Structure 1
Amino acid sequence: MYGLVRRLPFVLFFLVYFWTNVSGQTSAPGKDCVSKSNTSCEECLKNVTCLWCKSNQQCVDYPVRTVLPPKSLCPLPEARWGLCWVNFQALIITMSVAAAIIIIAVVVCCFRCCKRKKPRDMRADATMERQAEVRKVHQEERRTEMRLRHDEIRTKYGLTKENAYARFEDN
Structure 2
Amino acid sequence: MFSSTSLKQSARTSVFCVVFLLFVSLVTQGECQTTSPPPPLSCSAFKNCDSCVPHAKCLWCFATNNCTEYPVTWLLPPASLCPLSQARWGVCWLNFEALIIALAVLSGTILVSIVICCCCCCCRNHSSRPDRDEERFARRREEIKQRSEQRKVERKARHNEIRRKYGLMGDSDHPYSKFENE
TM-score by length of 2: 0.56
Contact 2:89 2:95 in 1 (8 A): yes
Deviation at 1:145, TM superposition (A): 7.4
Equivalent-residue separation in structure 1 for 2:88 and 2:39 (angstroms) = 19
Report whether the alignment pairs 1:134 with 2:120: no
Give the aligned residue type for 2:100. Answer: I
CA RMSD of aligned residues (A): 3.8
Larger Rg: 2
TM-score normalised by L of structure 1: 0.60
Report the identity percentage: 39
Ranges of 4+ aligned residues in structure 1 off by more than 6 Å: 145-148
Instruction: List gaps (5 residues or longer) in structure 2.
Output: 1-37, 164-182
Q: Distance in 2 between matches of 1:121 and 1:68?
A: 49
Higher relative contact order (CA 8 A, sep 6+): 1
Shift of the alpha carbon at 1:62? 0.8
After superposition, what is the alpha-carbon deviation per residue over 1:94-151, rounded to whole angstroms, capped at 9, x for unaligned?
A: 1100110111011111111221149x85883464022332123324555x47986xx8
Q: CA 1:147–1:49 in 2, change beyond 3 Å: closer, same or farther?
A: same
Matching residue's letter, 1:33: C
Report the CA distance between 1:61 and its aligned residue. 0.8
Q: Could you tell me how far apart the structure 2 residues matched to 1:139 and 1:65 are?
A: 80
Residue in structure 2 matching 1:31, options 25, 41, 51: 41
Greater CA drift, 125-134 or 84-93:
125-134
List gaps (5 residues or longer) in structure 1: 1-27, 156-171
